[in-house]
Chain A
Amino acid sequence: MSAKQFGDYIIHVDKIGKTFSNGVVALKDFSTNIRRREVVVLIGPSGSGKSTFLRCLNGLEEIDSGSITIDGIPLDDNRKHRREIRKEVGMVFQHFNLFPHLTVLSNITLAQMLVRKRSKTEAENEAMDLLRKVNISDKAKSYPSQLSGGQQQRVAIARALAMKPKVMMFDEATSALDPEMIGEVLEVMKNLAVEGMTMVVVTHEMGFAREVSDWVIFMENGMKVEEGTADHFFNNPQQDRTKLFLSQIL
C-alpha cells in the first residue's frame, strides 16, 4: 500500500464545527486534508463525530463554522456548488438506502440519466459493467427486497460508482450486515482502493483499516485524538486514549 502514488489534495477541511440543535457538539475545530487516491479511515467510539464528519463533507449536514473545499469547489450556500459537490462525492450508507420501488438496474441507471444526462443504453451498459464488477450481475432485474444485505450493499456501491465520483465515502457500510456478508462488501471496497479511488471510510472493521488505509484518524468528542499511517496507528500509538480504544477493540 505504501508504494501508492498520491495526487494533490482534493479535500480541504478547515476547522469545521458542528453543534446539533439539541446542544450536542458533534465536531469541534476539525481539520484535515485528503489527497487523491488516498484511503482515509475514521475510527472512534460511537458518538465521536465520524459519521457527522462524512455527512458534512457532502452537505447532508450543515457546518456551523470553518470551511470545506472539494476539488476546488467550496461547499457554501451557492446551490450550484452544492450540486456539483454532490455529483463528485459518492456515498454508501449503513442501511443501503436503495430505492425499493425500482429494480437493481433502475437503481443504478436513474441518477446517471437524470443527473449525468446519459442515454438509457449508455446508463444500462455502465450499470451492467458495475454489477459485474461487484459480482451481482445476475440480479439486475431483481428488486432490492429480494436481495440479501450484502448484495444490497454491493448494489448501493455500484449505484454510487455509476456517477463516476471523484471521492467515495462509506458510512459504516458493513455495520448492518450479517457477519458472513461483511467479507463480500469489504472485498469490493478493497478492490476500489487498489484501483486508486479516493476514499473516506467510517468503519469498525479494524482488519480493513489496517490492511487498506493510507491514513487513520482516531476521533473522540468531535475532535482528532490521534492520526497517522496504519502502521503507526496500530503498532505504535502515542496517545493513551488510542491505546485504550485499541486494546478494547482488537
Chain B
Amino acid sequence: MIRSIFQFCKRHHLVDILAFLALMISGALILVRGAEDQGYYWQWFRVPKYIYQFDDGRFIAGPILEGLKITLNITWISLILTYVIGLVTALMRLSNSLLARAIARVYLEITRNTPLLVQIFFMYFVIAPILDIDRFAAGVLALSFFEGSYASEIYRSGIVAINKGQWEAAYTLGLSTYQSYRYIILPQAIRRILPPLTSQAVSLIKDSSLVSVIAVYEMTMYANEIASETFLVFEIFFTIAAIYLALAITLSRFVAYFEKRTQVAS
C-alpha cells in the first residue's frame, strides 16, 4: 500500500512538486515577514495604476509600460549593434593584419575588464559630448560595445570550430577570403552559435536597466522615480523584476525552441 503510493508519487513527480512548492512558499513568507519586521505595509492595490489605467474605457499606458517601451527600444537597437560589433571584432581578431588584431584585442580587454556602469558613465560624460549624441544614444552605444565584446568571443569560437578542411576546399576552388567567409564559413558557424548568440539578447535586456544611471527613462528609471515618490519600493521593484523575468524567459524559451529546430535540421 505504502509502496504503491510512493510509486504513484514518484511517477508523477509529486514529491518534487511538493518540495518545490514548499520552498517557494517559505521563500515568499520569509520575504513578507522580513518586510513586515521593518514595519513595511504592502500596498499592492496601488501598483496597477502605474502600469496602466482605463480612462473612459480608453487604455492608457502607465509609466512602467512607457518605460518598458523604451527598454525594448534600447534592447533591439543595441542587439543589432551588438551582433555587428561582435562579428566585426571577431573577424578582426582572426585577420592577418597585426593592426586589426591589436585594435580588437585592446577593445576586448577594456570592455570586458571594466564595470559596465563605468562604461556607461564614460560614454555619457566623455564620448557623448564629443559626438554630440543624446543620452539614449549614449546608453545604446555603451551597451552595444559592452555586449559586443562578449558576442565577438561567441562568433570567434564558432568560426574557429569550423573544420580547417572547409577553408582549404574553399581556397583550392579559388574563393577569396571574403567569399569563403560569406558562403562557406559564416553560414555554418552562425548555425552553431545561434543559441548562445540569442542568450546574449537575454543579458542585454537585463543590462539595459543600468542605463537608468544616466537618466534614460526606461523601465528601471521610471520604477526608481515611482518608488521614491510613493514609497512602494518592494511592490514596484517586484513588478518590474517580474516583467524582466517574463521577457527573459520568453526569449530563453525561444532560444530552446530554436536550438531544437536547428538540431533536427543538421
Contacts and interface: CB of A to CB of B under 8 A. Distances in A.
Interface of A: 58, 60, 83, 86-87, 89-91, 93, 95, 97-101, 110-111, 114-115, 156, 159-160, 163
B173 interface: yes
A91 B168 CA distance: 9
Contacts of B165: 93, 95, 97
Contact of B188 (A90, A101, A114): A101
Provide the main secondary structure of the chain B interface. helix
Given A83-B174, A89-B172, A115-B173, 5 more contacts: A60-B168, A60-B171, A97-B166, A99-B169, A160-B173
B10 interface: no
Contact of A115 (B166, B174, B266): B174
B191 A114 contact: no
Of A93, A95, A100, A156, the most chain B CB neighbours within 10 A belong to A100
A95 B168 CA distance: 11
A163 B174 contact: yes
A60 B184 CA distance: 17
Interface string B168-185: 111111111001000110
A91 B172 CA distance: 6
A110 B165 CA distance: 17
B173 A163 contact: yes
B96 to A, nearest CB: 12
B174 A110 contact: no
Contacts of B196: none
B187 interface: yes
A58 B169 CA distance: 12
A114 B171 CA distance: 12
B168 A86 contact: no
Contact of A93 (B169, B187, B191): B169
A111 B173 contact: yes
A87 B174 contact: yes
A95 B163 CA distance: 11
A103 to B, nearest CB: 13
A100 B188 contact: yes
Contact of A110 (B176, B183, B188): B183
B187 A97 contact: no
Contacts of A156: 169
A187 B131 CA distance: 67
B169 A101 contact: no
B168 A93 contact: yes
14 contacts: A83-B174, A83-B176, A93-B168, A93-B169, A95-B165, A99-B166, A99-B188, A100-B266, A101-B187, A110-B183, A114-B183, A115-B179, A163-B173, A163-B174
Contact of B174 (A95, A97, A99, A111): A111
B169 A114 contact: no
B179 A86 contact: no
A38 to B, nearest CB: 20
A110 B169 CA distance: 12
Contacts of A98: 169
Contacts of A160: 172-173
A91 B179 CA distance: 18
Given A93-B165, A93-B168, A93-B169, A99 B175 contact: no
